[in-house]
Chains A and B, each alone.
Chain A
Amino acid sequence: MGDYPSRSENATAGDLGVTASRTRAAGSGVSPSSYDEPPIGGGGALPKKARFSMESGFRGLSVSAGAMVLVIIVAIAIFLISKAAPAIGKDTENFLTYKQWFPNEADPKFGIAALAFGTLLTSVIALIVAVPISLGIALFLSHYAPKRLATPLGFIIDLLAAVPSVVFGLWGRDVFQQPVADFSEWLNKYFSWIPIFGGDGPYGQSIMLGGLVLAIMVLPIVTSLSREVFQQTPGMNEEAALALGATKWEMVRTAVLPYGKPGVIASVMLGLGRALGETIALALTLGLVFNISFNLIEVGGNSVAANIATTFGEANETGRGALIASGLVLFAITLVVNMGARAIIYRRREFRDSAA
């Protein structure tokens, strides 16, 4: 991966690059399964199609494997609901608006308001930080860097995506926490008149730390997908812009960015999906406090997934049900986000084969 032909090298006018070779998909020929009955005439000597054969067996096997995906998604919803419903029934507070989490008491009180707020806030911060930087890297890799640099750098970015989240969490807690705490103190010193940088400490395991660690984790996803989209810009569009006298940035702005816009939106939404579901990195870097506060720099913050990981150990039966209920909410949110992203990608047929 990463060995994409650069546009300028195979730049015959109208060259569609990768897209052209993909339009003739494999299996485009007539396969035996594409007609239900043998064609009329000339087939008299052919053996009759057997009702039960290896063919139908293999076919059934592969169809059921494909259907398994749908079965799993439906099963996830069903089993989560079946375990969540009794726990929500026992909840003495409103599940959606209550801010605290005491599901293991005699009269269980729990709600996901603070958790959902923390999840959204950390994800939004992560995206605000990560998206401009990722788009910068994606443009650098696809249009600015020399190929000798772009290939290994793209490889490194892909490796970054493979590093397990627990490692980022550990790094965020042991290494990144101190710089962020210093930065928070600095922000508080000069910008405490802005409410999000207010408060008087302590600093460290804050929403900001969690958000920044999430940003580092989201970065490779957004980068690799938007890089692929940028690389698919038709060479003709770019050359037309350059021929009209556009500078490189004007070419990027008028030819590459408009072409890649749906793909970029989709990649951002996929990054959002990853940020929303991130568990361990946030469990290690957030202050795990149940409150709703826009203060970014004071110790605090919690998220749905991090709460599941940190309180699962001491949960009783109702506690487990409550955690499963919060997981169900997370599942629903990420499902909607991902379906939106995929719907956008599918509308642009060009991205269908490359959007991993």
Chain B
Amino acid sequence: MSLLEREVSGVAMTPDNIRTRRLPLVANLGTAVAAIVVAAAVVLGLDLGNWVLVAVLAVVFYLIGISIVAGRVEGRRAARDRMWKSLIYSACVLAILPLASVVWTLVSKGASRLDGDFFGTSMNNIGARDPNGGAYHAIIGTLEQVGIATLLAVPLGVLGAIYLVEYGKGRFALTVRFFVDVMTGIPSIVAGLFVLSFWVLIVSPWFNDGQPRFSGFAASLALTVLMLPTIVRSTEEMLRLVPGPLREGSYALGVPQWKTIVRIVLPTALPGIVTGIMLAVARAAGETAPVLLVAGGAAAINFDPFAGNQSSLALFVYQQAGDASRYAPARAWTAALTLVALVLILTVAAKLLARRNRLSR
């Protein structure tokens, strides 16, 4: 209580005590240690729970303790400031924990089947008792489906963004812009159901003697629906960053608007556009639900995206997760590791590209 006494007695306006009193670091650490000790004593003494509860209670006790101690030394407002600061820091720690756990599990469980067999074979004729089997067919499926979806979505998305930035004026452009934003929120399963009811059940029977047919191409269509708004938004943002004087210079030389867009605006914004496309591709590669609904999933290798069931990496993970075989979890985790590696490489590459982009901030 010596701190308190000093506060009461010290009133002389010397340069030493005219500034607000700060809580010494020792007091802060002491509170933390005391909180942990008290929490451990309460929890383990009364046998209420395990170390997780100790940690939670320790944080609570620390918050109470620090606001009392700091309240005595620094005043009520500073105490509240400290309490919120601690809360904000602990929120951050809390969020890092699950991410670390996911990464650790991915690496530790996924490494067990990370062999040539996994990347070289399919699940064809692999029974419940076979430890081998791989994701070759699923990797083929992912690459083909995402590739076709990119081919469909990129021209459409970039042209849509060009409309919004260069030509769009008035109500219609505002409506389009609004619904592009709304479309980013469409659940992937709804996109899958749309392609199911439109392509698989209505259009595909025309090519297949009246029988509805699953195909990788249908999955591509669903992924296109999901990628389109992302590409439009990111491209639009990049096109807006292209300086107006570049366009005006081009117009002044008598270049028509379409040529200005194709030859001046697009090349200037290209790195940013590519970044957006890569992020959209990464998102599409991880989608499971649409592929499950319209590509059907398959155990064998199928190179033809237009006929017959296909699998994809994400779908492979889901199907192996539901498989009763004792070898299935290892396959699921290795496929998940492959998928995350693919997605993260794309994402990180896109972000590094964005960092080198002179147009963006």
Contact = CB atoms under 8 A, between A and B. Distances in A.
B271 interface: no
Nearest to A17: B361
Contacts of B210: none
Contact of A327 (B92, B99, B189, B237): B189
B21 interface: no
Nearest to A333: B187
B302 interface: no
Contact of B202 (A79, A139, A174): A79
Interface in A253-290: 270, 273-274, 276-280, 283-284
B85 to A, nearest CB: 7
Given A61-B159, A76-B194, A342-B182, A277 B188 contact: yes
A6 to B, nearest CB: 13
A356 interface: yes
A250 B77 contact: yes
Contact of B193 (A5, A69, A323, A356): A323
A77 to B, nearest CB: 9
A54 B244 contact: no
Interface stretch (A109-117, A165-173, A236-244, A294-302): A165-173
B293 A65 contact: no
Interface stretch (A24-32, A98-106, A194-202): A24-32
A53 B259 CA distance: 12
A338 B261 contact: no
Contacts of A45: none
A337 B184 CA distance: 12
A135 to B, nearest CB: 8
Interface in A130-174: 132-137, 139-140, 144-145, 153, 155-160, 162-171, 173-174
Contacts of B131: none
Given A26-B242, A284-B318, A309 B286 contact: no
A67 interface: yes
Q: In terms of DSSP, what is the predominant structure of the interface of chain B?
A: helix
Contact of B95 (A3, A31, A133, A145): A133
A163 B77 contact: no
Given A166-B288, A280-B288, A26 B332 contact: no
Contact of A62 (B166, B234, B318): B166
Nearest to B166: A27
Nearest to B287: A164
Given A72-B228, A247-B80, A33 B257 contact: yes
Contact of B258 (A58, A79, A273): A58
B355 interface: yes
Contacts of A330: 187, 189-190
Residue picked from A162, A173, A277, most chain B C-beta under 10 Å: A162
Nearest to A77: B194
B355 A3 contact: yes
> Which bracket fits the contact residues of B?
35 or more
Contacts of B92: 136-137, 140, 145, 153
A211 B291 CA distance: 24
B301 interface: no
B288 A75 contact: no
Interface in B211-256: 225, 228-229, 232-234, 237, 239-245, 247-248, 251, 256
Q: In terms of DSSP, what is the predominant structure of the interface of chain A?
A: helix
Interface string B173-198: 10110111111111111110110111
Contacts of A59: 167, 257-258
B77 A247 contact: yes
Contact of A273 (B88, B185, B229): B185
Interface stretch (B3-11, B23-31, B116-124, B339-347): B339-347
Interface stretch (B34-42, B101-109, B303-311): B101-109
B323 interface: no
B140 to A, nearest CB: 18
B243 A342 contact: no
B244 A28 contact: yes
A346 B85 CA distance: 32
Task: Please give me the 10 A-B residue pairs with the lowest Cβ-Cβ distance, nearest first.
Answer: A277-B187, A164-B286, A136-B91, A65-B159, A338-B185, A66-B163, A58-B258, A247-B81, A62-B163, A83-B197
Given A31-B251, A342-B181, 8 more contacts: A18-B361, A68-B160, A140-B92, A186-B49, A309-B293, A335-B182, A342-B178, A356-B237
7 contacts: A2-B351, A29-B248, A83-B201, A158-B351, A165-B286, A170-B333, A305-B289
Interface of B: 48-49, 52-53, 77-78, 80-81, 84-85, 87-92, 94-96, 98-99, 101-102, 105-106, 109, 155-157, 159-160, 162-169, 173, 175-176, 178-191, 193-194, 196-198, 201-202, 225, 228-229, 232-234, 237, 239-245, 247-248, 251, 256-259, 261-262, 279, 282-283, 285-289, 292-293, 314, 317-318, 321, 329, 332-333, 336, 339-340, 343-344, 347-348, 351, 354-355, 360-361
